Structure 1
Amino acid sequence: MHRLNGRPRTHPTTVDAAWAGLLLVIGLLHASQFVGPLLAWRAASTVLLAALLVVRRRAPGPAAVGGVLLGASQVVLDVAAGPAGAGYLVLAYTAAAYGPVWASRLALAGGALAGPLAVWRFDPGGPTDGRLRAAVLSGVLATPFILCWAWGRLTRVRRAYLTELEDRAARLERERDAQAKVAVAAERARIARELHDMVAHNVSVMIVQADGAAYVLDNSPQQAKEALGTIASTGRQALVEMRRLLGVLRTSDTTEEYAPQPGIEELPDLLERARAAGLTVDYTVSGHPREVSLGVGLTAYRIVQEALTNIRKHGGPDVHARVAVDFGGRELAVLVEDDGRGSTEKQLATGGLGHGLIGMRERVGMVSGDLDIGPRPGGGFRVRATLPLKAAGAPV
């Protein structure tokens, strides 16, 4: 059924030819009732009208001119239109819907004159007939042409409106993609600055340990060995962060001041600030808490920070949030959820393309983690991130 409905749009000429063939058969059957020159004329006019119907969409202007000339010839030769005359209505519609302006005006003028000319030529009336009868009959005969022309104009306006809607939708989609790219670029630039701090910190630690090892190398070889071990471990971590840094696109206007970046140990302070702002938050820590890499700690902190911001914006009144951090054997699980009423609709309305959610995905991807964002089964919203405690590419 869908293919049948779509065929008139994809194969208009084929459909027009089918209708023209049906009109041709009806017109020739009607013409067969006559003899002599009248038979030849009716047959020829029916064939010409059917041919105009076949090409009416590809050449609406010439089809309108041909229809007007063919109708005028019938009036001049005093040949009344038969059943095939319904094709003139189709030509009037086509000129208004698909033809140029002049063809549309020509079809309107021809349709408006069709009634008076038909009454004048084929129904002259008698001396008892008044002008009122002729006027009414002329209006009745011209009305179908005018209605078909008006239908064609409505089709043209509707088609132009749909085209405008499609262009606007395409433009909005391009703008949305551009905004998403800008958000990703800005977020990656910020991540690049933060990774710079991490690498600088690790290199500073290596320099201090190297200086200490050189100082105690002769007097305390064991301390020197421990310092060298610390240098090796810190160097491996710095190398991983540097490799990750090279994969981040960075803008040229990164002139902001560098500052130490927060980690998991700053989460209690973050939650206290959220509570001071009026948000009820529970915080739990499970597993075996231990020191994590700067990249993982910063990612966890930013995820909780952004999730709490979204809860305050979209969670509605009296919302209750819960933050849970679980130190596993090889992974750090961060969970932020709430029981808000408006969070799901508002946060999912953008299809997950908000700048905050883009930042979460970028950060989690940078440390080779997993992120799950969506509504809770019992209502509200949930953000769950799983971050590896061993950085990708580091030795186990």
Structure 2
Amino acid sequence: MSTRWPSRPVGRPGAVEAATTGLVLAFTVGGVFLSYAVMADEPLPLWSGLALPVLACATLLRRRSRPLLVLTVTTACTMAEGFLDYLLTPLLMGPMLVAQYTVSLRPDRRTSWYSALAAAAGIALTGFIVTDSPHEWIIGLVNPAAWVLMAASFGSYVRVRREYAVARAEHVVLEREEEARRRVIQERMRIARELHDVVAHHLALANAQAGTAAHLARTRPEQAVGIIEKLPETTAAALRELKATVGLLRQDSDTDELAPAPSLDELPNLVESCAAAGLDVNVTTHGRPRRLPPGLDLTAYRIVQEALTNVTKHAATRNAHVRLTYTAHYLTLTITNESTDRKPAAPGSGRSGGFGLLGMRERALSAGGTFHAGPRTEGGFEVSCALPLPDSAEGTTT
């Protein structure tokens, strides 16, 4: 019962208007009898004094659709009450004050204040004409005009508060839409980064395998055939990861059909695929390995994968070394390739127009880690990053 009661006035605006009008009429009639009792020494026309409030309150039923017309009628009735020698108290001026409040709620501020000044001037003129003594001007002239301006000010205040509430609601909606757009952009960037890593790695391996097979086709045909036989495995792995990544864009896809995100557990497969492309990769682990959160595991794997892809595409030598160092608070990844001429073996990976290094840096920073990539003083190129481990992880280094 308590939950339905507040919704009744909203669903019955006619009943609310009738109840408001009846309440104002009761106060106005009370003001008439109060003035009649106070002015007992001077005979006042009682029936005329009662007819005018009834007429003024009747017009209040149209104050929503015709606010200016209702204000004009109620002001005229109030002025007529003043000319009949009734005291213009707030009770007697009730219909006029309600009409003025309604006009002040309109968005047209100039019309609202002009109407308030006109109504106050009319009441002031009535008090000036009716009042005989200057000592009574405060009661008969200033006080009624002040009540009119007070009603107009209160209506303007309510209008401003409503406009502020509407503007704030619109601002909240815009903020939500902006936040949604920002998250969509972030998700698109994440998916684009995943696609870049997958396509760049597998296509680089496939290109290296095809080039090696073509080079060995005449001198070592059996080895070339073995490399060619491994090409479908590389392309199939690329298709699987592309399906899993692009599948994220389809809302109606079944997540159970998507392949799990790669992790450091798949480093042996990555090393094997690099070996098929002619790249010798050596992996060493220092410290006690531990299970990583899925996001951090994927970040570490993608950084190693992209670094080896750069070696495959840019390095002069065909060997690389991957070192994983587990400490109490960090997992450090170091991917290096050596050069015999003491010059950077992969200058293109550091200054090319691609997005390899940029993607690795963004991944490391998004995980709260650090990233460094550049030529080694003894020759070759090195990629190093430190990824923070969860606080609950504990381990020892060796």
Give TM-score, length-normalised by structure 1: 0.51
- Post-superposition Cα deviations, 1:91-137, rounded to whole Å, max 9, x if no partner, equal 2222223363324322233135425523642x53xxxx5x2443465
Please identify the structure whose Cα radius of gyration is greater.
2
* Contact 2:57/2:95 (<8 A) preserved: yes
CA distance in 2, matches of 1:98, 1:187: 50
Structure 1 residues 26 and 299, CA, compared in 2 at 3 Å: closer, same or farther?
same
Equivalent positions of 1:277-296 (< 5 A) are 284-286=288-290
CA distance in 1, matches of 2:170, 2:247: 36
Partner in structure 1 of residue 283 of structure 2: none
Structure 1 residues 27 and 294, CA, compared in 2 at 3 Å: closer, same or farther?
closer
**Cα root mean square deviation, aligned:** 5.1
CA distance in 2, matches of 1:43, 1:210: 110
CA distance in 2, matches of 1:321, 1:8: 65
Partner in structure 2 of residue 85 of structure 1: 93
1:60 equivalenced with 2:67 (yes/no): yes
* Contact 1:31/1:42 (<8 A) preserved: yes
Equivalent positions of 1:148-167 (< 5 A) are 148-167=151-170
Partner in structure 2 of residue 297 of structure 1: 301
Post-superposition offset of 1:20: 0.9
1:199 aligned residue (177, 196, 202): 202
* Contact 1:285/1:324 (<8 A) preserved: no
* Contact 1:210/1:231 (<8 A) preserved: no
1:189 aligned residue (173, 189, 192): 192
Partner in structure 1 of residue 238 of structure 2: 238
SS in 1 for 2:329: strand
1:97 aligned residue (73, 80, 105): 105
Partner in structure 1 of residue 176 of structure 2: 173
Letter matched to residue 47 of structure 1: V
Structure 1 residues 110 and 162, CA, compared in 2 at 3 Å: closer, same or farther?
same
Post-superposition offset of 1:183: 2.8
Equivalent positions of 1:1-396 (< 5 A) are 14-25=15-26, 27=28, 38=45, 41-76=48-83, 83-98=91-106, 100=108, 101-115=110-124, 117-118=126-127, 120-121=129-130, 123-124=131-132, 129=133, 131-135=134-138, 137-204=140-207, 207=210, 230-231=230-231, 233-244=233-244, 247=247, 284-286=288-290, 297-298=301-302, 322-323=329-330
Q: How many residues are paired up?
A: 275
Q: Which runs of 5+ in 1 are unaligned?
A: 250-262, 268-281, 288-292, 303-319, 326-354, 361-379, 385-396
CA distance in 1, matches of 2:162, 2:216: 80
* Contact 1:187/1:359 (<8 A) preserved: no
- Give aligned-pair identity as a percent: 19
Structure 1 residues 301 and 57, CA, compared in 2 at 3 Å: closer, same or farther?
farther
- Post-superposition Cα deviations, 1:189-239, rounded to whole Å, max 9, x if no partner, equal 333222211220343466479779988999x7xx89976874554343132
- Post-superposition Cα deviations, 1:330-371, rounded to whole Å, max 9, x if no partner, equal xxxxxxxxxxxxxxxxxxxxxxxxx979978xxxxxxxxxxx
Structure 1 residues 284 and 53, CA, compared in 2 at 3 Å: closer, same or farther?
farther
CA distance in 1, matches of 2:62, 2:150: 22
Structure 1 residues 238 and 187, CA, compared in 2 at 3 Å: closer, same or farther?
closer
CA distance in 1, matches of 2:88, 2:67: 22
Letter matched to residue 170 of structure 1: V
CA distance in 1, matches of 2:192, 2:72: 65
